[in-house]
């Protein structure tokens, strides 16, 4: 697992795509050995971008890279705990479901309650290409599922009723229009 000293917070920042950008709906491809150098550069930039936003998770498709890479740091007890997952795959999930409010860097300033499995088990490669397994619950479980959804072209708004989704997306479009008008 990464430590804060391993994170290059001065790495180049990446632009975060905002809904309804069609790139957010593309399914990311699996990372291969041929991608090692690219991923080694991508992960520090993803962390720097995520921390600057600020956010607790970021998927490569959100920054226009269609690779199965996610970065997460839920900072339990306000202690940074950076986690990079390459080719993450949920291998088990609890039958118990929980509702948590979610937001997204690609759907800025919009939040909604989302129902997901309370616990998940995930297999992945870490930043050193070592096979790992993670058992997560609470906020970490929700974050991992949210970011893996991004790898599959799914946004948290897809879990909402059509009415709630449309209201939220209209609010986002209005906010984006106002933001552009103030530039």
Which residues on neighbouring strands pair with residue 112, listed in sequence order? 102
What residue has token string 């479980």? Answer: 141
pLDDT at site 179: 73
> In the block, which residue shows the tokens 């957010």?
24
Least confident of 50-64, 72-86, 167-181: 167-181
Q: Is the dihedral of CA 37, 38, 39, 42 positive or negative?
A: positive
Domains of the chain and CATH, by start = 4-181 (3.90.45.10)
Told to judge if 147 belongs to the known catalytic residues of this protein, a careful annotator would answer yes
Beta strands of 31-172 (E only): which ranges? 57-59, 69-72, 83-93, 97-104, 107-117, 119-125, 131-137
Q: What is the pLDDT of residue 180?
A: 72
- CA dist 178 and 183 (Å) reads 9
Residue 67's φ and ψ, nearest 5 degrees, are -120, 150
Give CA torsion, residues 28, 29, 35, 38, to 10 deg.
-10
What is the residue-wise DSSP string for 86-120? Answer: EEEEEEEE-S-EEEEEEEETTEEEEEEEEEEESEE
pLDDT in tens, 5-63: 455 568 999 999 999 999 999 999 999 999 999 999 999 999 999 999 999 999 999 99
Per residue in 131-162, pLDDT (tens digit) is: 999 999 999 999 999 999 999 999 999 999 99
Write the CB contacts of 31 (distance below 8 Å, at least 6 apart in sequence). 39, 67, 68, 69, 86, 87, 125
- Tell me what the mean pLDDT of segment 92-113 comes to: 95
Q: Pick the catalytic residue from 33, 93, 133, 147.
A: 147
């Amino acid at each position: 697992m990464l430590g804060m000293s391993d994170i290059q917070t001065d790495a180049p920042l990446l632009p975060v795509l905002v809904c309804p950008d069609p790139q957010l709906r593309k399914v990311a491809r699996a990372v291969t050995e041929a991608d090692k150098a690219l991923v080694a550069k991508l992960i520090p930039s993803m962390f720097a971008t995520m921390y600057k936003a600020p956010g607790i998770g970021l998927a490569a498709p959100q920054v226009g890279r269609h690779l199965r890479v996610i970065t997460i740091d839920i900072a339990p007890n306000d202690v940074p705990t950076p986690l990079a997952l390459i080719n993450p795959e949920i291998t088990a999930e609890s039958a118990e479901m929980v509702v948590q409010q979610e937001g997204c860097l690609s759907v800025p300033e919009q939040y909604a309650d989302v129902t997901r499995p309370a616990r998940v088990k995930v297999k992945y490669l870490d930043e050193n290409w070592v096979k790992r397994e993670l058992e997560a619950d609470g906020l970490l479980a929700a974050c991992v599922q949210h970011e893996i959804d991004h790898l599959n072209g799914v946004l948290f708004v897809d879990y909402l009723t059509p009415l709630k989704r449309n209201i939220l997306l209209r609010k986002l479009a209005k906010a984006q229009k106002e933001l552009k008008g103030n530039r």
